[in-house]
Structure 1
Amino acid sequence: METYYINEHVLSANVRTVIKNAQDKSMYILVGRWGVKGDVLSVYNMNGEVLATVKQTTYAFPSRFDLYDRYKKIGSLGRLISFNRDIYLVKQLNWLVLANVNKQTYRIYSFKERLMLMEKHTVYQGDYYKLSIKNETLAPVCICIGAVMDYWAKNNEKNWQKVNSFLSPKASYQSMELIREKIKSTSR
């Protein structure tokens, strides 16, 4: 198993992210942005070669992402089921991604074999994601999938914050007062 670390706060941000190994050596650079259909995120080696790319193909629900190994399309990532845990499928590769957004853990399986485990890891420098990947050749594509998982988790968190603020007791009380005023004004 190969181990890599990515700073949690910059993984799905629109900035360059350095990915380091367990010996604190810079291994990859993650570059790109999210948010609009057609946006791309790429993993480069330290020599500047593109190793893997993920491209957002749809923005509306359900979001889809195409995965590329170098410049060759190898699969599409899409959500299958969303209950207590989210389940995603990488078509063409027959990979299953299991996401526990609350615990911030993500696993990639190929049949019964685990290819990657991505989990939150806190050290004195800050919060990181620790990626344990079966072998180094899978690392760039797995990093792209991990970035998508983080992106979806953060988008879901923002959406829940909006819903919770709308449903908060204060907001509900204010809404009820507005309705009462409307009824009073129309009955006069």
Structure 2
Amino acid sequence: MRTLYLNQAALSAKATTVIRDTNNQSSYLLVGKWGLRADVLSVYTIAGALEAEVKQESLGLLPKFRLVYHRQTVGRVSKTFGVIREVLFVRGLNWIIMGNINSGHFKITHGRELIATIDQVSQSGGGTTTLAVDQPDHEALVICLAAILDRWAKHQHKALAPLRNHAWAPAAGDIAQFTKK
């Protein structure tokens, strides 16, 4: 298995992201943006050849994404209701993604065969995602899936932020004002 490293801060900044290998050599470029229907993230080799794309097909609570490998659609991934949150299916490739969005640890399998693992590593300078991929043909697609998972994790944290932030609760001075008579 080959290990690749993806900088999460660059991924979140909607900038070009360089994916490096264990020797710190640049292997791939991830270019594009999210947010609107028909937005695309593209994975290029360092030589400039287009390897894979992930295209956003729909918006909303259950966005759908299309995976394109060498200009051919190979699969689709989306969140679904009624299925455990930690299990996602890549239709077309018959891959199953199991893991936890909060911890950032995922395994991608095809039957009993391990395709890749995705792990988030926290560092003082920001987060790094490590991708351990079984074969070179799967690397670009796993990079696309890591970008989708990172996006869903960021949106889940934003959605839960009002629950963690108690700004909606009255301030201590407000309560004292109502209790004095």
- TM-score of the alignment, normalized to the shorter chain, above 0.5: yes
Q: Is the 8 A contact 2:3 2:21 kept in 1?
A: yes
| Structure-2 residue corresponding to 1:148 | 148
Q: Is the 8 A contact 1:79 1:87 kept in 2?
A: no
The TM-score with structure 2 as length reference comes to: 0.87
Q: Which runs of 5 or more residues in structure 2 are unaligned?
A: 175-181
Deviation at 1:120, TM superposition (A): 1.5
| Structure-1 residue corresponding to 2:168 | 171
| Structure-2 residue corresponding to 1:42 | 42
Q: Which runs of 5 or more residues in structure 1 are unaligned?
A: 178-188
SS at match of 1:103: coil
SS at match of 1:158: helix
Higher alpha-carbon Rg: 1
Query: Letter of the aligned partner of 1:28 in structure 2?
Result: Y
| Structure-1 residue corresponding to 2:132 | 132
Deviation at 1:37, TM superposition (A): 1.0
Deviation at 1:127, TM superposition (A): 2.6
Query: Letter of the aligned partner of 1:148 in structure 2?
Result: I
Q: Is the 8 A contact 2:9 2:126 kept in 1?
A: no
Deviation at 1:113, TM superposition (A): 1.2
SS at match of 2:47: coil
Q: Is the 8 A contact 1:99 1:149 kept in 2?
A: no
Deviations 1:56-83 (A, max 9, x none): 1011121110000021000100124564
Q: In structure 2, how many angstroms separate the alpha carbons of the residues matched to 1:126 and 1:156? A: 19
Number of aligned residue pairs: 172
- 1:44-63 alignment runs, 5 A limit: 44-63=44-63
SS at match of 1:58: coil
Q: Is the 8 A contact 1:32 1:39 kept in 2?
A: yes
Deviations 1:74-110 (A, max 9, x none): 0100124564x52111111111111301211122111
The TM-score with structure 1 as length reference comes to: 0.84
SS at match of 2:66: strand
Q: In structure 1, how many angstroms separate the alpha carbons of the residues matched to 2:120 and 2:90? A: 23
Does residue 160 of structure 2 align to residue 160 of structure 1? yes
Find runs of 4+ consecutive structure 1 residues off by over 4 angstroms.
122-126
| Structure-2 residue corresponding to 1:28 | 28
